Amino acid sequence: MTTIDLAPRPPSVLTRAGLWMKRHAISFYAAILTLLMALFAIAPSIFIEVPAGHVGVLWLRFFGGTVTDRVFKEGLHVIFPWDTVTLYDVRLRTDNRRFDAVTSNGMTLTVEVSVRYRVNPPTAGVLHKLTGPSFADTLVHPKVGSLVYHFVAQNNPESFYSADRADIQTYLMTNARNGFPVPSDAFDVAPGNLGEPMIRVEDVLVSGITLPPLVRQAIDRKIEQQQIMQEYEFRVAREAKERDRKRIEAEGIRDFQETVAHTITPEYLRLRGIEATRAFAESANAKTIIIGGRDGLPVILNTADDARPHVAPAAPAPFPPGATGEAAAPRPANGDPPANAPPSVPTPNLPSATPSTPAP
């Protein structure tokens, strides 16, 4: 005879889980949704993304605060939600500032400075610990302004209008490049970061220096007069050179004339005249040439005629005392009066002084 066990078997785990899900479905899905929402809410505090050109400085709430010996590089990082990461841009940046400085003689001028710098990535944690994200207004600008004030106070306004103006840029660059090291007395800083620069200054550019209008005009007039004076000095030097040139040229002409004076002969001059006459004849221009002289050369080239200079007639000898001019002047053979005789004045026919006697 077979015995049959009619007692019910207990449900399996899956069966009981399914039954529980049916009874608590709404509560279960509500809990899952709440968990997902909480995870999404705290995800930005857990998953930290460091973009390109940045580094992240970690601050631990329960384990010592700011981490100075390492930084988070570019990429995705996971931290506890109660910790924080501060991002620092380590790319090159440029800041422009205007500083009103006083010169050595009490004159106020405005200096426009452009500073190009970047955060040093290995020491970004120390920079965050000592100054924070406002390091530009806390460190960079006050330091550069101090250097500008110091340099301007040692110079006069004229220095910035001359070649010495570039000295301020060199001075600022030299002193600002080494002006932001990690202080040796900084607390809780990794020993390897001591003395390292927190900020690397790439360049300091002086974009402009503005003087008061009256001072600028006075300096311009002074520089103008200096240039005029230099111009006159140059003119004097040029005239001295011109004097030397003319003296050398005159000496050369004199030596040439002394050399060729003994070699120029009438035959040579006649040959040159023939060549000049041929050149006149072959020229296409309209011309009138007067030929004369023994050699048939143009008059302007006639060197063959032995033209004697005109001799003025000799002056007559002075008359001896008591002699008249008519007796002393010789008379030509043809009876004409001499050339140097004064003209004769005709005598009018006057009546006789003796009265005439009538005929008987």
What does the alpha-carbon distance between residue 88 and residue 204 come to, in Å, rounded to a whole number?
Answer: 22
The segment with the largest mean pLDDT, out of 36-40, 263-267, 296-300, 355-359, is 36-40
Structure-token pair, residue 316? 């007559």
pLDDT in tens, 96-120: 999 988 888 888 888 899 999 999 9
Mean pLDDT of 286-293: 65
Structure-token pair, residue 330? 């010789």
Q: Which residue do the tokens 């402009």 mark? A: 208
pLDDT in tens, 24-52: 778 878 888 888 888 888 888 888 899 99
Q: Is 201 exposed, middle or buried (0-12, 13-18, 19+ CB in 10 A)?
A: buried
Q: What pTM does this model have?
A: 0.53
State phi, psi for 267 to the nearest 5 degrees: -65, -40
Q: Which residue do the tokens 């005029």 mark? A: 228
The arrangement of strands across the sheet holding 93-102 comes to 93-102, 108-119, 199-210
Q: Which residue do the tokens 């040579």 mark? A: 268
Kindly state the DSSP code that residue 138 receives in the 8-state scheme.
I
